[in-house]
Structure 1
Amino acid sequence: MPPANDGAAEIVSALEAACRDLSLPAATRALLGRTRDALLAETAAAETARLRYHALFDAVPDPVSILDEDGIVLDLNKAGMAAYRRPRAEIIGQPIEVLNPDLPKGHLKPVWETIRRGETYVIEVANMRADGTRFPVEVHSAGFSHDGRDCIVAVARDLSARRDAELRYGQLLEVIDKGIVVHNADGGLVQVNAAAMRLLGADEKQDFRSYLRSEAWSILDETGHRIPFEQLPPVQTLRTGKTTDSCVLGLYHKPERRLRWLSVSTVPLFAPGGRTPRQVLSLFSDITELKRDSALFDRAQALAHIGGWEWEVDRDALYLTDEALRILGQQQVPRTIEEMLGCLGESCRQRLRDAVQHTVSQRAPLDIEVQGMRADGRVFWVRIIGGAEVGQSEAISITGTLQDITERKQEQESLRVRARTDPLTGLLNRDAILAEIGARMEDFTLSRIAVLYIDLDRFKMVNDVLGHSAGDDLLMESAQRIAGAVGSEGLVARFGGDEFLVVCATQDDDARPERIADAILESFGDGFRFGKEEFAITASIGIARAPRDGDRPQALIHNADAAMYDSKRRNRNGWQAYSPELAQSQEDKLRMETQLRRAADNDEFRLVFQPQVDLRHGRVVAAEALIRWQNHHFGEMRPDHFISHAENTGDIVRIGSWVLREACRQAAAWRDAGLGIMRVAVNVSYRQFLGDDLAATVRGVLEEHGLPGAALELEFTERVLIEDAPDTLQTFATLRDMGVVLTIDDFGEGYSALNYLRRLPIHGLKLSQLFVEGVPGNQSDVAVCQAVAGIARSLGLGLVAEGIESEAQRQFMLQLGVPVGQGFLFAPGLTPDEFAHRLAAQSG
């Protein structure tokens, strides 16, 4: 209802005219001007309020009417015009009965009484459209004052959709075949459909509320256990506001002694905007036949070798199917639960007795696996499953199945054994022996033990030369020999690869570990035959004792491993016990590796150069660069004292790179000084060969020092041939194309693959000092040297003899046709200056 204007425009016009009247005093005209301005501002504010009112009024989606004290319509919003299908002008000024013709006389009296109490008056009536059709509405009326008059604002909400929904809901309840029961928040029954009455066995004429009184019913879960009231699905849904789906309940009607099984789902119903359920709807169907079919199915399982059983608790009467009797294998048929327990071991007997009692008292499901013995002495395993049921007289019985699981248990035991067993040798595996050591060390009474760490010597040779099948045969026979030597005095395990562990007790016999070690070494005294060949394979053993040499499994094994490597270092085919001295040796090794890692940065390395000479004329034709390490702690060391440590730590790659660069730098310096030397030889380790691109590194070093490829010789160990890395051939080809001379060092010491020797683009071989030192007196060494010389000639390769220390050796090599040699006969490793003097003297 818009604010009144009351002729403000005419007053403003009069004030405007007075302000222009010059006959009036100036002060009067000014006062009139201020009055005019104030009136204009008030008029503008009133217009703004009117526009805001209509915007808000028309924005309400429901019909809104403004009535005066007598029920005359003062205003109507757009929703009202649409609902009644009449324009505003046609309704304003008319009594409200035009819109609500069914209102009784005096209907405004209760409205005003309610409003004057400060409350809203609500009524459901039928409003009428312009065409005479009626539609249900819910009218909310409230009072307010306007210009000193009491007025009513009435909001009418169309109930047509809700009434239609209620009609459809009622029809749905009656035609649906599932039972529906609605309770309010207090547990009172609100609604029930015909299907619910039928499914619960109620007569249509019965009072359903009295029929469902709680004392007439017992509500059970699937196992026959009575459900407390607070755990019933509708009660839980009202409390939690969450649905329950397909909960199986048994409804036992005490007066009729009838049990029905229902599948029940519950849904909470909330008021608009509410968080607490105001009602709960329970939807259920009868599954009694389904439960009966399920019971028949359980009985049919007996045909699949699953026995059935039933025990009536009150009468202690036990019934077993024929299949159950066959599984138990007893001569006399058990008639009571105690008689059935009699075929079980005492521990299993008590477990089953307790489980059955728990099922009876708590209505809990029974599921237990027990071991027994049949009348013929055979051991069996059986799984017993059951559940408590309540009969019509509420007598308790337990019914279930009895399944023979002997084969499954045997398979599980087999799997357990396999999980602890090495598949190749049949010994305990790594995990099993670690667990055994850990268990013994944790048990104070068993903690005094010893670990023997056994490693096969020369296993790799058999595996590489004869193949993996022969290697497996060697491992299996070695396992048998070790197990036979140990006997019952300890446990034997394959720890990995060609390594074995023995664990034995020492608390009753302190000498047992050494005695076992001697027996193992003796068992390796006979050779191992593979086809027509026989190989002498030995073992190296390390011994560590707990708790002296380690109080944790890994520490004990680590120290036994260290002792084993010390045994290999001293002399293979022996044993060595861990000792404080060995610990000191390990500490020294660690210190050396630490110092070695810092050596290059501390400028501790230097090179000496051993001449390679023409054996016929004695002229120096090349030099081999040999590294020396000058350390403040260890003093000066030759490479055989520290290179193996560098190999282990990986520092050999960095050291090898330093040697390559320093040797090339020195060769370039000699050349710049006019000292003629064909080339400098540098040793390349296998790890260096596998590291970064060797060919690219060599090319960079040669270019850095302005050397041709022919000025450098690279010496590789035979391991390069044996390992056959994927890019070996390509790397050798690239180096050879650069002009670099390629040589296999210490040829004959290893187990060279001659096929790869033929394929690789190498220039020569170096005859190992190991064989040179024995000639000409040792015929075996003579034979090896002759064989290597023959291989070199047949493949067109150069040959250099290392370690020549006597004139007789030089003459022997000349007779073999070996043109070049090196050794103390000619010179040891020389400093760069000493070598330069040698070259200068030769040139002069």
Structure 2
Amino acid sequence: MNGDGDEAASAAAHEALVSRLEALLAEGRGCDDPVLLSQLLAALHEARREAKSARLRYRELFNAVPDPVSLIDTDGRIVDLNIAGEKAYGRPREELVGRLVHAINPDLPDDHMAPVLEALARDQTHVVEVYNMRQDGTRFPVEVHSARFVDGAQQFIIAVARDLTRRREAEQNYNALLSAMDKGVLVQDHEGRVLSANAAGMRLLGLDEDRDVTAGLHWQDWLVVDHRGWPIRFGEMPPLRALKTGKFVQSTLLGLYHVQRKQLTWVTATSVPQFRPGEDTPYQVISLFSDVTELKRDSALFLRTQALARIGGWEWDGGRGRLYLTDETLRIIGRSDDPPVNLEDALMHVVPADRGKVEAALESVLRDGGAFDMEIQMRSPDGRSHWARLIGQSEGRAPMTARITGILQDITQRRQIEEALRSQARTDALTGLFNRDGVLTELERRVAEGREGVTVVYIDLDRFKLVNDLLGHAAGDQLLVNAARRLEACVGEQDVLARFGGDEFLVLADTRRDPAAGERLAELITRAFGEGFRYAGEEFTITTSVGLARFPEHGKTVQQLVNNADAAMYAAKHRGRNTWQNFTPELARQQHDRVQVEAQLRRALDNGEFRLVYQPLVDLADGRVRSAEALIRWFNPILGEQPPDHFINHAETTGDIVRIGAWVIQAACRQMAAWIAAGNAPGRIAVNVSYRQFLNEELLQVVGQALAENQLPGERLELEFTERVLIEDAPDTVRTFEGLRQLGVVLTIDDFGEGYSALNYLRRLPIHGLKLSQGFLRGVPGNDSDAAICQAVAGIAQALGLEVVAEGVESSAQREFLLGLGIRTGQGFLFSAALDPDALAAYLRQNGGAPLHG
């Protein structure tokens, strides 16, 4: 037998056997009936099997529940835990059984079992939301359902914990969605009382977003009318109708008139009733509403919305082979008077370049469903070209019902605006030319196409910075504009001209038909700048240095081409400016050497590769040493000994000169202190200072620290600087000079006469002396021009009370000439080359010291 009947019969038979045995035992008799004993033994085994089967069924059912299930006694102690609970809490069953339920929820109060037992005593299920804890200490939200579980005489609580993590995330996402929506959302209870509203709803109702909607919204302040303007009672409004009928109330046009503000807002509202599980009456209603005031004000405007937005509708019925187009779509394609008869006719207005992708998209959607969204170019019957956005979506894939619906939007104006913005982003605001990004994008496109016959022409305006500094930024800007106009007159129609940055321009010259066109363009540019520029009645000359690099011979990437054209431009500048230069392998080697020098130079100071040598400055009359100039030398293990004029230029370019210059000041002061301690020192130590150091705010600190650490008075240190310092930034220059004057440091202009000699600065700034450039001294006394310049410099210095030092004195004739001008101090090979510290000390012992003047 099987089923419940079999189990009942078996149980009755077992009861009868047990009753017989109990009766025998009650009579004091034993049981010597082998049949009875055999039956009792079989019944015992069967009972054990049934008990084991029951335990297995319990365990299988217990573990089959997907949620964590705990069996708890009335003291709150865990008796059993299913597999889902082990996984959820990350702890084995054996670790939790026998422990209080606080092991998985330490936040429970001590009397947490009281409300559970009270609910179970009323034959109710107890439900509570709490946070349970995993083994790692993290918590997760759960909804615990507790019910009575009776096992014989024992009573337990079976608690099922439903993980609420995803529901909480969904609630958060729902709330975020409500906040982000541009439609108003209003939630009301079953009596129409407002419970909540999203931000858009608060705005549409004229309430502050941070205000409580239940306190701020009073229906008695509003007059509600329908689309005809007739008043609507509260009970007739869409939310109340939805609550009454239990059905959606869709897209109802309402006028909301606020009596106090005297403001009428038109909205379209859709109300959706909400039901609890198992209930047939709504417990709340959610309404979505949008502001349509602008559309309602003018019904004609409402009807013409498609036309104003330039959006038309279309439908293609694949089963019938019919095409439906709205009036606005016909206007967009230019066929209002002659609508297309079929799809092929309509597609003829798509330009050939885009027609294939439209046909492929239509075929794909008809075959596989889905949608497409693309921007295409179209052509009207009159030949005018315009842009459109084409969107289509499948409405069905069954035979004879294959249908695609979509919209066609005229986006010509948007594309024009985008193109204007792109053009603006690629255009230099000052000159109206392409800017750096624009020309690099165009060059990248041409390189990607592998288009040979592109020559990059790199143009730099020589001495532009001098004009900009002298006459001001307004003059500099006007010069750049005028330079751009001259360059425009030089380039061809197929060439691309751009302002690359600062005073640099770039041309992408089209040399496909004529490989020599780039060179001719460069020559034309240099000639075009032969004529001077005028500004504010002044005329000045600006020339160009031009470098050329051809694709692909001189570079296969944008970066290579620009870098190589730049290297060629610098080669032209070093050749004397106002010329042009093609990129060559030799320039590539020089560029490589420059990169290598700059890389080694960056580490040279930290590696201790610099040293100082000292050239004596002597009294031209008797040869006695007056001071010494510190000169830097660099020996690199890889590059060897490097000429100062070579690596200093690199340091100026990279900015490393600031660190190096600070080291020179410190080292020179340290050496001066050592000479003084030895009792054999020149009167002063001179150090060359770069204009970049003057631009750095730390120069004063560096000088002051070097003097203080070596206990030197300021007059023992002389700083030499070029005239460029005087015109970099006048206010900062004055402040820096004033700070150095307070330290007592001697200030001298180096190579005076080679740059812009600002005589006004000589009068205003605390400058002590001038160094006459050796370039003017080479020709004296035989060259009248050089002699005249030397006489002029000496005259200026004497008139202003400044000391003059002559550099590069190499002959007795030069010394006699200088003495004749009243110049008393000089340096050069006639007296001594630069010496190391010990050699200079020996030179001092031989030649003594002369008193310093000025």
TM-score by structure 2 length? 0.59
Residue 465 of structure 2: aligned partner = 460
Per-residue CA deviation, residues 192-234 of structure 1 (Å, 9 max, x unaligned), is 986358989xxxxxxxxxxxxxxxxxxxxx9xxxxxxxxxxxx
Paired positions, count: 618
Residue type at the aligned position of 2:423: V
Q: Retained in 2: the 8 A contact 1:311–1:337?
A: no
Are residue 418 (structure 1) and residue 424 (structure 2) matched? yes
Are residue 440 (structure 1) and residue 446 (structure 2) matched? yes
- Between 713-722 and 398-407, report the one with greater CA deviation: 398-407
Q: 1:612 aligns with which of 617, 626, 641?
A: 617
- Deviation, structure 1 residue 671: 3.7
Are residue 644 (structure 1) and residue 657 (structure 2) matched? no
Q: 2:665 aligns with which of 660, 675, 678?
A: 660
Q: 1:751 aligns with which of 756, 760, 766?
A: 756
Q: Retained in 1: the 8 A contact 2:458–2:547?
A: yes
Residue 544 of structure 1: aligned partner = 549
Q: Retained in 2: the 8 A contact 1:746–1:767?
A: yes
Structure 1 residues 476 and 60, CA, compared in 2 at 3 Å: closer, same or farther? closer
Residue type at the aligned position of 1:474: L
Q: Retained in 1: the 8 A contact 2:247–2:273?
A: no
Are residue 582 (structure 1) and residue 587 (structure 2) matched? yes
Residue 825 of structure 2: aligned partner = 820
Q: Retained in 2: the 8 A contact 1:495–1:501?
A: yes
Q: Retained in 1: the 8 A contact 2:249–2:270?
A: no
Q: Retained in 2: the 8 A contact 1:627–1:638?
A: no
Are residue 570 (structure 1) and residue 627 (structure 2) matched? no
Percent sequence identity over aligned pairs: 48
Per-residue CA deviation, residues 67-100 of structure 1 (Å, 9 max, x unaligned), is xxxxxxxxxxxxxxxxxxxxxxxxxxxxxxxxxx
Per-residue CA deviation, residues 168-212 of structure 1 (Å, 9 max, x unaligned), is 97999x97865899xxxxxxxxxx986358989xxxxxxxxxxxx
SS of corresponding position for 1:452: strand
Structure 1 residues 432 and 596, CA, compared in 2 at 3 Å: closer, same or farther? closer
Q: Retained in 2: the 8 A contact 1:178–1:196?
A: no
| Counterparts of 2:326 and 2:488, CA distance in 1 | 50
Are residue 195 (structure 1) and residue 201 (structure 2) matched? no
Residue type at the aligned position of 1:438: E
SS of corresponding position for 1:626: strand
1:622-641 residue pairs with structure 2 within 5 A? 622-631=627-636, 635-641=640-646
1:800-819 residue pairs with structure 2 within 5 A? 800-819=805-824
Residue type at the aligned position of 2:441: A
| Counterparts of 2:776 and 2:722, CA distance in 1 | 16
| Counterparts of 1:674 and 1:193, CA distance in 2 | 108
Q: Retained in 2: the 8 A contact 1:609–1:829?
A: yes
Per-residue CA deviation, residues 271-324 of structure 1 (Å, 9 max, x unaligned), is 7xxxxx99999969999xx99979865325489696989999899898987x99
Structure 1 residues 699 and 562, CA, compared in 2 at 3 Å: closer, same or farther? same
Residue 303 of structure 2: aligned partner = 299
Structure 1 residues 773 and 178, CA, compared in 2 at 3 Å: closer, same or farther? same
Are residue 265 (structure 1) and residue 269 (structure 2) matched? no
Are residue 472 (structure 1) and residue 522 (structure 2) matched? no
Structure 1 residues 352 and 282, CA, compared in 2 at 3 Å: closer, same or farther? farther
Per-residue CA deviation, residues 697-736 of structure 1 (Å, 9 max, x unaligned), is 3344334444332222111222322222765434433332
Q: 2:118 aligns with which of 49, 54, 61?
A: 61
Q: Retained in 2: the 8 A contact 1:177–1:195?
A: no
Structure 1 residues 787 and 312, CA, compared in 2 at 3 Å: closer, same or farther? same
Residue 763 of structure 1: aligned partner = 768
- Deviation, structure 1 residue 832: 3.8
| Counterparts of 1:284 and 1:670, CA distance in 2 | 93
Per-residue CA deviation, residues 351-400 of structure 1 (Å, 9 max, x unaligned), is 9999999999999899977644475x7666677999999xxxxx999999
- Deviation, structure 1 residue 432: 1.9
Structure 1 residues 60 and 837, CA, compared in 2 at 3 Å: closer, same or farther? closer
Residue 592 of structure 1: aligned partner = 597
Per-residue CA deviation, residues 446-483 of structure 1 (Å, 9 max, x unaligned), is 15633222212111112112222222232223323333
Unaligned runs of 5+ in 1: 1-48, 67-139, 147-167, 182-191, 201-221, 223-244, 247-260, 272-276, 390-394
SS of corresponding position for 2:441: helix
Residue type at the aligned position of 1:571: G
- Deviation, structure 1 residue 640: 1.6
Q: 1:500 aligns with which of 483, 500, 505?
A: 505
Q: Retained in 1: the 8 A contact 2:247–2:272?
A: no
Structure 1 residues 768 and 397, CA, compared in 2 at 3 Å: closer, same or farther? same
- Deviation, structure 1 residue 621: 1.8
- Deviation, structure 1 residue 487: 0.7
Q: Retained in 1: the 8 A contact 2:192–2:239?
A: no
Structure 1 residues 387 and 298, CA, compared in 2 at 3 Å: closer, same or farther? farther
SS of corresponding position for 1:488: coil
| Counterparts of 2:711 and 2:244, CA distance in 1 | 107
- Deviation, structure 1 residue 502: 2.1
SS of corresponding position for 2:754: coil
Residue type at the aligned position of 2:118: P
Structure 1 residues 587 and 50, CA, compared in 2 at 3 Å: closer, same or farther? closer
Structure 1 residues 280 and 198, CA, compared in 2 at 3 Å: closer, same or farther? closer
Q: Retained in 1: the 8 A contact 2:243–2:285?
A: no
- Deviation, structure 1 residue 430: 1.4
Q: Retained in 2: the 8 A contact 1:310–1:397?
A: no
| Counterparts of 1:538 and 1:716, CA distance in 2 | 27
- Deviation, structure 1 residue 601: 5.8
Per-residue CA deviation, residues 477-525 of structure 1 (Å, 9 max, x unaligned), is 3323333333135322221111122224556544343333223223323
| Counterparts of 1:584 and 1:512, CA distance in 2 | 26
| Counterparts of 2:533 and 2:664, CA distance in 1 | 43
- Deviation, structure 1 residue 415: 2.6
Q: Retained in 2: the 8 A contact 1:359–1:366?
A: no
Q: Retained in 2: the 8 A contact 1:179–1:196?
A: no
| Counterparts of 1:141 and 1:621, CA distance in 2 | 111
Structure 1 residues 337 and 480, CA, compared in 2 at 3 Å: closer, same or farther? farther
Residue type at the aligned position of 1:416: R
Q: Retained in 2: the 8 A contact 1:262–1:284?
A: no
Residue 738 of structure 2: aligned partner = 733
| Counterparts of 1:286 and 1:415, CA distance in 2 | 38
| Counterparts of 1:545 and 1:773, CA distance in 2 | 42
Q: 2:566 aligns with which of 552, 561, 565?
A: 561
Q: 1:428 aligns with which of 427, 434, 442?
A: 434
Are residue 719 (structure 1) and residue 719 (structure 2) matched? no
Structure 1 residues 479 and 778, CA, compared in 2 at 3 Å: closer, same or farther? farther
Residue type at the aligned position of 2:245: A
Q: Retained in 1: the 8 A contact 2:248–2:271?
A: no
Unaligned runs of 5+ in 2: 1-72, 77-110, 124-147, 155-188, 194-233, 254-267, 396-400, 850-854
CA-based RMSD = 5.5
Structure 1 residues 286 and 535, CA, compared in 2 at 3 Å: closer, same or farther? closer
Q: Retained in 1: the 8 A contact 2:658–2:693?
A: yes
Residue 525 of structure 2: aligned partner = 520
Q: 1:796 aligns with which of 764, 776, 801?
A: 801
Q: Retained in 1: the 8 A contact 2:272–2:287?
A: no
| Counterparts of 1:783 and 1:371, CA distance in 2 | 77
